[in-house]
Structure 1
Amino acid sequence: MSKSELIYGMHAVDALIEKQPERVIEVYALKGRDDERLGAIVEKAREWGVSVQFMQRKALDDKSEGEQHQGIIARVKAAKVLTDNDLDAYINHLEVPPFLLILDGVTDPHNLGACLRSADAAGVHAVIIPKDNSASLTPVVRKVACGAAESVPLIHVTNLARTMRALQEKGIWIYGTAGEATQNIYDCKLEGGIAIAMGAEGKGLRRLTREHCDELIKLPMAGAVSSLNVSVATGICLFEVVRQRR
């Protein structure tokens, strides 16, 4: 029997039914809730022949283990985990210069979900994370990502430094963010194939990851705080690439 997982939150469930309906096994919806958006998701599920069960709030709370489910949960076939080989094939089929995001050591699922959401909005082709020392694609990540987890490939790699070398061999320039960098992101010419490497909040990029970047950059900080939340910093960096590409 194939493995299954739970996905919750309106954006996440709706996006999965829209993009990968074949993965949806059944849907659990809040009983007695008169909500137009919830009703539309239930109707869409039924159109695909998906069984819908209506439940009391406590039953849904138990299924989501206390996380905010917004009245909708889907049990789905577990997604295939994308790896180094998938990244190589994916990049080779792109018809435009690759735009990638590397997240090194981001272990907080809320931060990973927010970074995926920003990556989707900015048109990033894939997000790369190390197999170990990183949050994975959990229901919390999917909910925070608001549907982006179903549209942006999340690639798990065994050896991040090796993956970065392989990207550089394909002509992709890797910019890593670091507090000690002398180069301001707004002074960089962000053209061609690009990967932005972001480290965990507090620790930043690991030493080996920093050493494999082509260039280290930083955001100008004018106030009393010395750093930003990784998801906020990621959004700023990605959209500077978007601005320059336009």
Structure 2
Amino acid sequence: MEDEKKTFTGMKENHIEGRNAVLEAFRSGKTIDKLYVLDGCQDGPVRSITREARKHDTIVNYVTKERLDQISETGKHQGVIAVSAAYDYARVEDILALAEKKGEPPFILILDGIEDPHNLGAIIRTANQAGAHGVIIPKRRAVGLTPTVARTSAGAVNYVPVAKVTNISNTMKELKDRGMWFVCADMDGTLMYDMDLTGPIGLVIGNEGDGVSPLVKKNCDMVASIPMKGDIDSLNASVAAGVLSYEIVRQRMKKG
């Protein structure tokens, strides 16, 4: 429940309420991450809104009136609340173009279902400091570029391109065809110090609870583990991303 409250807090900073306002937001081209619609409501205006949502590949969640009331600040949501992105998303092509512009082999963080906005913001901040060229996140079952993410990134979201894709596995396959290879973080993998993490690389970080999904893991070329000496068996997702990112930095500096 606490995680839900955190999520709602992020939404209230960047949401659009009411049928006309939401419809105009879609038609104006505003990036909408999620749409919340009163379950069972199928009148004309709502159908127009959900049609626009499908056209823009926006996630639609059908929820109870109680849930809408909880999210709403105005109490005048009219059965629809849209959550807009705090920042515009980049394309995967933009990330690759940035690497090419810098004359560096691509270094991309691929996040397989990060749900905590504080984790995403921290990872974007690390990506900036580690010299990564961008971050790729999925459209579904993951947090987007909320104001909380922007704040936690300490401004790094202004400098790190973040692309949102429909299917992480398909995107990885397309990038493999362009010469990239992928390593994911998993406690059962090879010790990261014993791996060659140079070259055009994608670092895959999994969901906070379940880790990297089986299908995404199957598309990884290597599985890296972080040495741990403590009494618990895992690291926070953003910490794991930082540790592995800087091992990539270390190896690149040593090779270069």
The match for 1:186 among 171, 181, 193 is 193
Q: Is 2:211 the counterpart of 1:204?
A: yes
- 2:105 and 2:249 map into 1 onto residues whose CA distance is 12
Does the 8 Å CA contact 2:134/2:162 hold for their aligned counterparts? Answer: yes
Partner residue of 2:175? 167
Q: Describe the superposition over 1:30-54 as per-residue Cα deviations: whole angstroms up to 9, x where unpaired.
A: xxxxxxxxxxxxxxxxxxxxxxxxx
- 2:86 and 2:243 map into 1 onto residues whose CA distance is 32
Name the SS for the 1:149 alignment partner: helix
Name the SS for the 1:178 alignment partner: strand
Where does the alignment leave 5 or more consecutive residues of structure 1 unmatched?
8-64, 66-76
After superposition, residues 36-75 of structure 1 pair within 5 angstroms as none
After superposition, residues 94-173 of structure 1 pair within 5 angstroms as 95-173=103-181
Name the SS for the 2:188 alignment partner: coil
Structure 1 residue 191: deviation in Å? 1.3
- In the superposition, the TM-score normalised over structure 2's length comes to 0.63
Return closer, same or farther for 1:133/1:90 CA change in 2, 3 Å cut-off: farther
Calculate percent identity across the aligned residue pairs: 42
Structure 1 residue 95: deviation in Å? 2.2
The one-letter code matched in structure 2 to 1:219 is: I
Does the 8 Å CA contact 2:95/2:133 hold for their aligned counterparts? Answer: no
The one-letter code matched in structure 2 to 1:131 is: K
Return closer, same or farther for 1:200/1:153 CA change in 2, 3 Å cut-off: same
Q: RMSD of the TM alignment (CA)?
A: 2.2
Partner residue of 1:242? 249
Partner residue of 1:230? 237
- 2:118 and 2:130 map into 1 onto residues whose CA distance is 18
Where does the alignment leave 5 or more consecutive residues of structure 2 unmatched?
1-11, 15-72, 74-84
Return closer, same or farther for 1:165/1:241 CA change in 2, 3 Å cut-off: same
- In the superposition, the TM-score normalised over structure 1's length comes to 0.65
The one-letter code matched in structure 1 to 2:163 is: I
Tell me the matched-pair count: 173
Could you tell which deviates more after superposition, 148-157 or 79-88? 79-88
